[in-house]
Amino acid sequence: MSERRVRVRFAPSPTGPLHMGGVRTALYNYLFAKKHGGDFLLRVEDTDQTRYVKGAEDYILEALKWCGINPDEGVGAGGDCGPYRQSERKEAGIYKEYAFKLVEDGFAYYAFDTSEDLTNMREMAEKAKMPNWQYNNITRTSMKNSVSLSEDEVTKRLDAGDPFVIRLKMPRNEEVRFHDEIRGWVIVNTNNMDDKVIYKADGMPTYHLANIIDDHLMNISHVIRGEEWLPSAPLHVLLYRYLGWEDTMPKFAHLSLILKPNGNGKLSKRDGDKGGFPVFPLEWNAPDGAVSSGYKENGYFPEAFINMIAFLGWNPGTAQEIFSLEELTEAFTLERVGKSGAKFDPDKAKWFNQQYLRNKSNTELAQLLMPIIAEEKLDVCIEYVAEVCELIKERATFITDILEEGRYFFEDVSAYDEKTLKKKWKEDTPTIMQELLVELKSIEEFTTENIETKFQAYLEKNEYGFGKVGPGFRLLVTGKGMGPSMFHICSVLGKEYVLDRMEKGLVKIEALKAEA
RNA sequence: GGCCCGUUCGUCUAGGGGUUAGGACACAUGGUUUUCAUCCAUGAAACAGGGGUUCGAUUCCCCUACGGGCUACCA
């Protein structure tokens, strides 16, 4: 067989925000396409108007954009196979003819049973201890459809405009097999499959039909999708066969699900709320006003998020863990995608972010920090922020940690760490601080080295250990009990500021002490 | 319940008929650091169970258990 152009698609339903699992599916599709020089399409599967959620489609588009997963074709990108929204394709009359053709060819039939009929049937079956009633190749003979009803009756109903659906006529006792790129051969007997509705009473195709038609019309070569589709894959194979498209049927690859960090089950929105981590790439404001947090808003870099997601169920087989999108594209293969579900680990997610943060230059970090600083109306220049980043970077996971950890670089000290105050602020500390203040005042050039030299000289002169002077000094200047080198902090802060803080701090702390 | 898929340290995983079963996160200990973080070193930690096949199975096959998915005129 000649090499077919790789064309894959990500086909979400706009029923809510895209969650991590969806992003991973999109990512793997994207990586696979790029790896093989193919196309990545975005198709919106909005055949169920009752589940349509306003804003969801925009959200999906924005989320993918933030992740750097840009479609070559599809909604928001254009292309020759449009429209790419299934609702619009339905309006264009794309699906109807195929549904009816299936009936004509004897592979499907009209069914007139109403939803109530079906519900009643299921309830009756349940009472008769048949808990799982299905509309299938046995039960269909006792239902109202073009298989059981006379031809006259069917025509009469059709002419009268009775609502109907089209169901696939599942054959009796046939083995349907297909090769999954990740799982190998999957074989299912048609006796275990039901007569799925492929065309709804409202004139919309169901997922199954629309999906097959669109994939065929859009020349999709590989279907990479979630495990939840594995059970219906045989149905899809049958649909390709009955439509006469089996020779160009795409290859299938079913991805395992992302599971909850602890406990069982797939990751859901609630797990994030409970575990204190996001499950969505971007913050989602639901129409009902509920807000779900996003990775972006939590300070994650998109590259780190993507990297982390990629490793949930895939690995390169080497020790390398940090991969740019380009490197992922280079390294990605379906063969190295795992078969089993992966429990999501929020700690590892943080670790990825930390790695990326550390690899960014101080200027880069400062640039990212400036908007946040502006929001807080703090008046500093970018060069100063970069210097702060240099000092705080090593102890930050998120960009905002730099601001929080290094608060004292931007604002006066308003509170003093109680523990340090209690343990390290002794009777003679104020005197020592006064003396240190004088020493610092005498420094001409307020550089890290000069401050350190002066400080050490002072210790030596009085035969003090560092522990006698250091903690009080830090407390006075930063309000904290720990942090980066004091000499660095002071040189960044500048002489005036440091002296001022010490003087004011001495007064404040003495007042606090007197109070206590 | 039925059907389908899966099962290596707590977690993500590598590996694969004969290995001291490797790495990463998290954890613990020690070192560096005035402190915290970083960094470095070290440690603890796994082949779900039972049957086969085989000289030999964690690896191949079967069964069981467990986990997951599906079982809509939802995707």
- ipTM for the complex? 0.95
Q: What is the mean pLDDT of residues A417-439?
A: 91
Q: Using 50, 70 and 90 to split pLDDT, how confident is the model at A1? A: very low
pTM of the model: 0.94
Q: What is the mean pLDDT of residues A161-174?
A: 96
Q: Which of residues 256-275 of A touch strand B (CB under 7 A)?
A: 256-257, 259, 261, 264-266
State which CATH number among 3.40.50.620, 3.40.50.150, 1.10.1040.10, 3.40.50.300 fits the domain covering A7-75+210-257: 3.40.50.620
- Each residue of A327-382: pLDDT tens digit? 999 999 999 999 999 999 999 999 999 999 999 999 999 999 999 999 988 889 99
Token pair listed for A331 = 């390294």
A11: CB within 7 A of chain B nucleic strand: yes
- Each residue of A183-215: pLDDT tens digit? 999 999 999 999 999 999 999 999 999 999 999
User: Which candidate in A269, A360, A480, A508 is catalytic?
Assistant: A269
Q: Whole-number Å distance, CA A449 to C1' B26?
A: 38
A286: CB within 7 A of chain B nucleic strand: no
Token pair listed for A330 = 């280079």
Percent of chain A at pLDDT exceeding 90: 88
Position A267 scores a pLDDT of 87
Q: Using 50, 70 and 90 to split pLDDT, how confident is the model at A6? A: very high
- Each residue of A225-267: pLDDT tens digit? 999 999 999 999 999 999 999 999 999 999 999 999 876 788 8
How far from the centroid of its chain's Cα atoms is residue A230's Cα?
22
Q: In this predicted structure, which of A102-116, A308-322, A383-397, A501-515 has the lowest mean pLDDT?
A: A501-515
> Smallest CA–C1' separation from A311: which nucleotide?
B12
Mean pLDDT of chain A: 94
CA distance linking residue A491 with residue A482, whole number of Å? 17
> What CA–CA distances, in Å, run from A384 to A110, A343, A411, A493, A498?
73, 41, 13, 9, 15
For residue A226, what are the β-bridge partners?
Answer: A255
Token pair listed for A245 = 């498209």
- Each residue of A67-84: pLDDT tens digit? 999 999 999 999 999 899
- Each residue of A52-67: pLDDT tens digit? 999 999 999 999 999 9
The closest of A194, A204, A184 to A132, measured between CA atoms, is A194
Most distant pair of Cα atoms in chain A: their distance? 113
DSSP state of A237: H
Q: Using 50, 70 and 90 to split pLDDT, how confident is the model at A505? A: very high
Q: Is the pLDDT of residue A2 over 70?
A: no
- Top-confidence residue, A377 or A295: A295
Q: Which of residues 297-356 of A touch strand B (CB under 7 A)?
A: 311-313, 315, 317, 319, 321, 336, 338-343, 345, 347-348, 350-351
CATH fold of A360-411 reads Helicase, Ruva Protein; domain 3 (1.10.8)
Position A3 scores a pLDDT of 78
CB-contacted nucleotides of strand B (7 Å): 1-8, 10-15, 23-26, 34-38, 67-75
> What CA–CA distances, in Å, run from A18 to A233, A454, A468?
23, 58, 55
Q: Is the pLDDT of residue A132 over 90?
A: no
Position A266 scores a pLDDT of 83
In 3-state terms, what secondary structure has residue A253? strand
Q: Is the pLDDT of residue A269 over 90?
A: no
Q: Which residues have CB under 8 Å from A506's CB, separation 6+?
A: A430, A433, A434, A476
Burial class (CB within 10 angstroms; exposed 0-12, middle 13-18, buried 19+) of A374: exposed
State which CATH number among 1.10.10.350, 3.40.50.970, 3.30.930.10, 3.40.50.620 fits the domain covering A413-516: 1.10.10.350
Q: Is the pLDDT of residue A417 over 60?
A: yes
> What CA–CA distances, in Å, run from A147 to A106, A171, A190, A239?
10, 13, 18, 19
Position A270 scores a pLDDT of 81
Q: In this predicted structure, which of A84-93, A488-497, A505-514 has the lowest mean pLDDT?
A: A505-514
| Nearest residue, CA→C1' of B38 | A394
Count of Cβ atoms closer than 10 Å to residue A345 Cβ: 15
CATH fold of A269-359 reads Glutamyl-tRNA Synthetase; domain 2 (1.10.1160)
Q: Is the pLDDT of residue A273 over 80?
A: no
Per domain, the residue ranges of chain A are: 7-75+210-257, 269-359, 360-411, 413-516
Q: Which of residues 142-181 of A touch strand B (CB under 7 A)?
A: 163, 165
